[in-house]
Chain A
Amino acid sequence: MKPAIGAPIDRVDAQRKVTGTATYAADTPVTRVAHAVIVTSAIGKGSLRALDIDAARRAPGVLAVLAHGNAPRVKADRTSGGPNERVLQLLQDDWIHYADQPIAVVVADTLERAQGAASLIVPRYETAAVVASLEQSLPTAFEPKAMVHGAPDSSRGSFDIGLAAAKHVVDATYETPNENHNPMEPHATIAVWTGSDRLTLYDATQGIFGVRQRIAEVFGIPKEQVRVIDQFVGGGFGCKGTPWSHVALCAMAAKVVNRPVKLAVTRQQMFSLVGHRPHTSQHIQLGADPEGKLTAIRHAVISETSSFDEFVEPSAMQTRMLYACPNVITTQRLVRVDAPTPTFQRAPGESSGTFAIESAMDELAYKVGIDPIELRLRNYAERDEQENKPFSSKSLRECYQQAAAKFGWNRRTPKPRSMRDGHELVGYGMATATYPANQWPAGARATYRPADGTYLVQAGTQDLGTGTYTIMTQIAADALGVPIERVRFELGDTAFPEAPVSGGSTTASTVGPAVKDACTMLRAKLAALTPADRAVGQAVVAEAKSEVSPERKKFATHAFGADFVEVRIDEDLGMIRVARVVAAFAAGKILNPKTANNQFVGGIVWGIGMALEEDTVRDRRTGRVVTRDLADYHVPVHADVPAIDVIQVDEVDTVVNSLGTKGIGEIGITGITAAIANAVFHATGTRVRALPITLDKIA
């Protein structure tokens, strides 16, 4: 039998999705469900002096209006947990930390009545002055207490000595704006209480077990009494990685009205209630010898966080290992602004960070006067010099070579503004992509059902639209030695064995090995059955928990890639168009080339948006988001997306995990923004160091 792993099979859930039978959280049919809407603050900082809810309370169909005067007290609106947990705004006090913070929840028998009543609530505020942007608070930058991704700072060698010895120097500051994730499916929750202490949540989330933990803490009940279900997710990209206030508010509302409650976040509220990628300012200094060999690198990152939580956009992480250089300093600092707490957004750190370091490398290539690929090859890191470890595998050279050849990089004339076609300036740019290959522990269960000879495999993981259902079915089928048609994979229920949040490009590498182990165990159990056992016809179950091998610790584990971009810019009108992209990625074993291509291409499309369009603008006086819907907050439309040619470079890695996978969900969005910015420079001679690159910046 041909292995299922490595075959470009169609998504096993495709038919359910295109026929509308896939049940997303808010679609779950629940009898007697009431509808809740969140009312948010107009001001960006201050306190609620008064909140008149009488008219709303009396409005037709209204079941309850919750506000800080009457909302039930919760056990915990903050956790002592890790750096990725944040304070929730659960109507516990009258303080307003950011614009569009929840100040009330209206529950009614229909959504329209809840919305109508919500518009009758009249708040009165005591307004305080708002610090809306990074520039205003730069002098108060501070070192974060902790980071999910490692230590905030790194240092090797002597940067000062390295810089003093340099012939060529790049010294520039790059900026990325606030960006909101805006998955197609907005966040939504349905809360169903059974008695006073058992709760079922249908929640749009990337991490059902994280939701269970946090909500149990908020209401002071054992986590085993909270069940979280989410079978389909319409995109997550990080904003659904951890539970936000609306999840707890929905459960609170359901408790108060004593019936199930549904709460869907509006598109406008998606800009304040569920996190964003924070504005970064990244100062980069590169020093190089006459041949372009790096003698010094400094990458100093400042990113915004809220007034009440610490979240770091770790943009300097890749700079520690990307190039061979004896003298490297990286630092990550925070500034506080009156805004919601930021969060993980697709390739947090590496997407914004590669924009800076890979733009700076392009600037250095021009200073040294060599091809940007050649500059990168002269500084190729054969090992992780910061961790002083070998790479478990690295095929970046192959990525440069294969993508450059397919793109036709040799047709590029290096001088800016040297290529044109009619009204259009043509620019070629390239950059390196990279993302760490991580693995966490996870559980899975496999059951043989003798009645129909099929296998049911379950894990408490999530499918964000990435293809988890499909690749887990492939892994299970191969481990069981059966065709995929005999395997059914289920996910998205805390009743299944625990798996971590779907984030950090880890699901294939984390849940995959657990599924493989459970199925391998089940196959052995079935082989050991006696004919008498078989005659009984009982289901046979095997459960496995995968662990991270100690061997991994001896290696640095990263995926790499290379992006090549052609842009075309109307010389008179300034309109910037990405005309084509060729990218090559080496990310270990590719389980399904079809869903993998989808992931890579999706990341590149996101990169086009990040490079040219996405910008969450806050009014500097009030802190309110001005670009608060998808007409003002642009993401690419089809017409912005050119032919994207992705090469999947063969790579065998026996260290990362038992499947050899490195994770592919995020590497696609790294490098691409710099490749576009570098192409814009090549086309126009204008170096834009602040995203997004809109036409007014190159005029």
Chain B
Amino acid sequence: MNAFSYVRPTSEAEALRALAEPGAVALAGGTTLVDLMRLDVMRPARVVDLGGLPLDRIDAKTGGISIGALASNTAVADHPEIRARFPVLAEAIDAGASGQIRNMASVGGNLLQRTRCSYFRDLASPCNKRSPGAGCAAFDGYTRMHAVVGGSQNCIAVNPSDMCVALLALDAVVRIKSATGERAIPMSELHVTPDDRPNIETTLKPGELITAVELRDAPFAKRSRYVKVRDRASFAFALASAAVALDIEGTAIKAARVALGGVATKPWREQRVEQALVGKRPTQQTFDAAAKLALADAAPRPDNAFKVALARRVIARALALAGGVS
């Protein structure tokens, strides 16, 4: 770990000023940042500890729920209104990490969770994400855990978050502040694919701070499920996961949301699958046929080719659970 300066602001304005300094990083739960600092993968000059800011409120209103960026993952997953109105979010969080980590990890931090690519985490391996232009050790390396979609020759690292997959399926909105103002972006516009700049992972600008995530009630949100397949029963990253949500009216699917985790360089929306579901009867045949349309553009590596078929089966299972046909 490098030597760094540390500040713990007590107001948002003070935090935004500190984050605008060169080399500043925000510290929330620390479950990613401290881990990567210990490995020397991240060597920030300044650490801005957000722990003193009052940003942990979960505010359930008519029409939606606003989640403060510093609310813990546990607090979100355990919140009765979230469990009732956005079950996929609670299920996704519960499927991630361990109880201890979920207690520490924040919602804002989870949005910015960094990849678990083992080459990224090993300083002796070249990594474009860690040092742009160095090359990608993963592409021709051991790729069992890597992305089958959304990657490039420069980076095939998976976005490891479960929570983000659910937020994407729920059309969540991310609220952002900076010293110069405020903005809100849809979840689908937060993360970017690596392309030729794997070091750029989000559309956040330097000095910006995520303050909240907003969920709006929607008919599909209540009928939403998360299914995650991994190498052991708990405390493991996804080989493939799916967050799905269905609005079923009468005997037909009126709207659908499908997002994938564990297979892509960012939380991955599957609109082709969604479109194939709309207007159909919610049967296993419908779900299986729609799920087969997922990952049409997949470009797997030799070790992870199994993920393509697996992800499709995970979607089908999640849809069956959400649609009540299982």
Contacts and interface: CB of A to CB of B under 8 A. Distances in A.
Given A119-B2, A631-B116, A624 B231 contact: no
Interface string B221-250: 000000101111111110100000000000
B140 interface: yes
A634 B310 CA distance: 20
A112 B196 CA distance: 35
A119 B43 CA distance: 11
Nearest to A118: B40
Contacts of B6: none
Given A624-B124, A632-B118, A695 B1 contact: no
Contacts of A116: 1-3
A29 to B, nearest CB: 24
Interface string B280-322: 0000000000000000000000000010011001101100000
Contact of B141 (A573, A619, A636, A694): A619
B125 interface: yes
Contacts of B231: 612-613, 634, 694-695
Given A573-B313, A621-B141, A640-B233, A627 B118 contact: yes
Interface in A310-345: none
Interface string B129-167: 000000001001110110000000000000000000000
Contact of B236 (A626, A628, A634): A634
A696 interface: yes
Interface string A557-585: 00000000000000011110100000000
A115 interface: yes
A643 interface: no
B78 interface: no
B119 interface: yes
Nearest to A112: B1
Interface string A427-447: 000000000000000000000
Contacts of A636: 232
Contact of A613 (B3, B39, B232, B313): B232
Contact of A575 (B3, B124, B137, B229): B229
B232 A626 contact: no
Given A115-B1, A116-B3, A626-B141, A699 B309 contact: yes
Contacts, number: 91
B232 A699 contact: no
Contact of A624 (B122, B140, B235, B306): B122
Contacts of A628: 118, 121-122
Nearest to B43: A119
A639 interface: yes
Interface in A614-634: 617, 619, 621-622, 624, 626-629, 631-632, 634
Q: From DSSP, what is the main secondary structure of chain A's interface residues?
A: loop
Interface in A38-64: 42-43
Interface residues of B, number: 38
Contact of B306 (A423, A629, A696): A696
Contacts of B121: 628-629
Contact of A637 (B122, B123, B232): B232
A284 to B, nearest CB: 27
A573 B314 contact: yes
B196 to A, nearest CB: 23
A649 B22 CA distance: 69
A679 B173 CA distance: 47
A617 B142 contact: yes
B39 to A, nearest CB: 8
Contacts of B142: 617, 619, 626
Contact of A634 (B116, B227, B232, B314): B232
A119 B233 contact: no
Contact of B118 (A575, A621, A626): A626
Given A573-B229, A575-B229, A637-B232, A621 B140 contact: yes
Nearest to B303: A696
A337 to B, nearest CB: 16
Contacts of A619: 125, 137, 141-142
A699 B309 CA distance: 9
A638 interface: yes
Contacts of A612: 231-232
A634 B235 CA distance: 9
B234 A573 contact: no
B235 A637 contact: yes
A335 B140 CA distance: 25
B145 to A, nearest CB: 8
Contact of A695 (B137, B227, B229, B237): B229
Interface string A387-430: 00000000000000000000000000000000000010000000
Contacts of B145: 632
B118 A639 contact: no
B251 to A, nearest CB: 25
Interface in A90-122: 99, 112, 115-116, 119
B119 A638 contact: no
A295 to B, nearest CB: 40
A504 B179 CA distance: 65
B310 A699 contact: yes
Nearest to B313: A572
B234 A639 contact: yes
A486 to B, nearest CB: 42
Contacts of A699: 306, 309-310
Interface string B245-265: 000000000000000000000
19 contacts: A115-B1, A119-B1, A119-B40, A572-B313, A572-B316, A573-B313, A574-B310, A575-B230, A613-B232, A622-B124, A624-B122, A624-B124, A626-B142, A628-B121, A632-B116, A638-B234, A639-B233, A640-B232, A699-B310
Given A116-B3, A628-B118, A699-B309, 16 more contacts: A42-B123, A116-B2, A573-B314, A617-B142, A619-B142, A621-B140, A622-B124, A624-B122, A624-B124, A634-B232, A634-B236, A636-B232, A638-B234, A639-B234, A695-B229, A699-B306
Interface of B: 1-3, 39-40, 116, 118-119, 121-125, 137, 140-142, 144-145, 227, 229-237, 239, 306, 309-310, 313-314, 316-317, 326
Closest 4 CB pairs of A and B: A42-B124, A639-B233, A696-B306, A639-B234
